[in-house]
Structure 1
């Protein structure tokens, strides 16, 4: 099996060939029109490659870049597309086993998916909730699921090489940094920014997110049900709080000097304990003030109303993507 880098390079070369072929067709068309009107000597028939408007024509997409820069940008774009497709497979929107859309109706379920794809190579998420947090706190978090996808789709043999190509193309040190990155005031998600941009602020994957993004959980809108908020709350947020509380106890023991910790380790533990305390305050407030009341309402969504209307129904539970109340873009 080819490496991912080889596959992307082949994809790039195929599009380069298509772009050159289209360029030649446009030149020939211009020549025919010029000849028809007797303008061969007055009008240039040449069409620069940068004006051949094919989506994956690198010269058209990045006209002011060098060939090497275009290749790097093409690889980055291809990997962003791959991650988007992989997340679609995680939720059952797509499948490695069948082309096209698998789950795209309101209220779709895993059972609906298995009716279409009885023995999938890559099993979609069972409860339609994929956590995105700053470490490997969950076995089914988005980073681990993408690793599994990469192994299934491109084989175990070149897994590490393929993973490095993904991170290099995305411009991140570790895969998790693309999905969640700690900032000075809040975490960011380049993945979710890319998704919101891809769907022009009408995302199909919705991100439950605490105020600074210390906790995040992704759901697929078309698999949303009245119990989804409760699943996020009890199956993920509260479990995360419990895990952080246990880690806080450990950090406090180290900070107290137990176990023969060095001065450097004690200082680091004190700093980490302070950080965890701040996170726990945020998450418990998010639980008490936002998710718990919302879970009790068992909010129903109607896809016929559109993303703008439905997004407001879950309010502060979701990441702010710049939609005002009333369904207008900021």
Structure 2
């Protein structure tokens, strides 16, 4: 299933039989054709209802029965939008909001039921790092690749990742394109779909991408920030120190022509390391408070509590 977040309905994506299919352009086009047929059929039905009501109330002089596409209650297929929606559904499965073993919304607070997740297991601590390189094996890209593998199978994994990357656009290898999407655009898209009331919160150190991670608001606990700080921020700081040391040794051995490029990389790493150092102090201050939230207060109120360490909602 693929969630249509704009209308809170589920639609079927091609090949989403666990481990048995490939999301090819051909399969997508077949699914697109089915979507378009449903769209045109519903549009025709809605226009016929309009004609009936216009006739009943004698409004022929004032109204026409034609329905604009944007007001038809199902959507046409759109590859880029649908792949983004698929990515959002994957993140929902990572957090346990959705499950490949149950229809609809599975968890939005309350008692956690592990028995609802068999095919794809949600993230244990509900903290998913987003980095510009593969610093964590279980970062959002690693988990997304695993999700695609579980849904469509190992044999077609690389073809499916390429199909997804091509739909998202951008240059580079499929995993690089997917990483860039999660790093730069996923949260912006999420905020648009949820009308600036995100349920996935982006912890963000700043413009240098020193540190980013997503959490699911409904799985927030009072020690979540402490775990982000000790298990992820501190780990990322250690990785930057190692990377900087390695880069400096590499520069010392490099030729003059190579040093320009390497020094640029070193400068980026140092900027990220400094950014995360400052960020660690901010998150430390909040983590020590062991803040509790009330979901009934809503997204806007709760998000504002952590605004110093969260990405701005645009």
Same fold (TM over 0.5): yes
Instruction: Give the secondary structure class of the aligned counterpart of 2:81.
Output: helix
Q: Which has the higher contact order (CA 8 A, sep 6+)?
A: 2
Match of 2:217 in 1: 221
Task: Structure 2 unaligned segments of length 5 or more: list them.
Answer: 1-19, 172-176
Residues 50 and 250 of structure 1: CA distance in aligned 2, closer, same or farther (over 3 Å): same
Find the aligned partners of 1:221 and 1:51 in 2 and give their Cα distance: 31
Give the drift of 1:176.
0.8
Pick the structure with greater CA Rg. Answer: 1
Structure 1 position 138 matched with structure 2 position 158: no
Q: In structure 1, what is the Cα distance between the partners aligned to 2:218 and 2:280? A: 24
Partner of 2:22: 3
SS in 2 for 1:123: coil
Match of 2:12 in 1: none
**Counterpart of 1:47?**
66
> In structure 2, the residue corresponding to 1:218 is in which secondary structure?
strand
Partner Cα distance (1:37, 1:104) in 2 = 44
> How many residues are matched?
288
Query: Would the alpha carbon gap of residues 243 and 31 (structure 1) be closer, same or farther in structure 2, given more than 3 Å must change?
Result: closer
My pick for the range that moved more, 265-274 or 244-253, is: 265-274
Please give the alpha-carbon distance, in whole angstroms, between the structure 1 residues aligned to 2:47 and 2:300: 44
Task: Say which SS state the counterpart of residue 154 (structure 2) adopts.
Answer: coil
For 1:229 and 1:291, locate their aligned partners in 2 and report how far apart those are by CA, in whole Å: 7
Tell me whether 1:243 sits opposite 2:262 in the alignment: no
1:161 is aligned to 2:164: no
Gaps of 5+ in 1: 59-73, 181-188, 323-330
1:100 aligns with 2:98: no
Q: CA offsets per residue over residues 100-129 of structure 1, 9 Å max, x none?
A: 2221115x5xxx231433xx1111111111
C-alpha RMSD of the superposition: 2.4
Show CA shifts across 1:270-289 (max 9, x none): 2222221121111111112x
TM-score, length of structure 2 as denominator length: 0.84
What is the TM-score of this pair, normalised by structure 1?
A: 0.80
Which stretch shifts more, 234-243 or 159-168? 159-168
Q: Map 1:1-330; keep pairs closer than 5 Å.
A: 1-5=20-24, 6-29=26-49, 32=52, 47=66, 50=69, 53-57=72-76, 74-105=78-109, 112-117=112-117, 120-173=118-171, 174-180=177-183, 189-212=184-207, 213-257=209-253, 261-288=254-281, 290-322=282-314
Cα shift at 1:7: 4.3
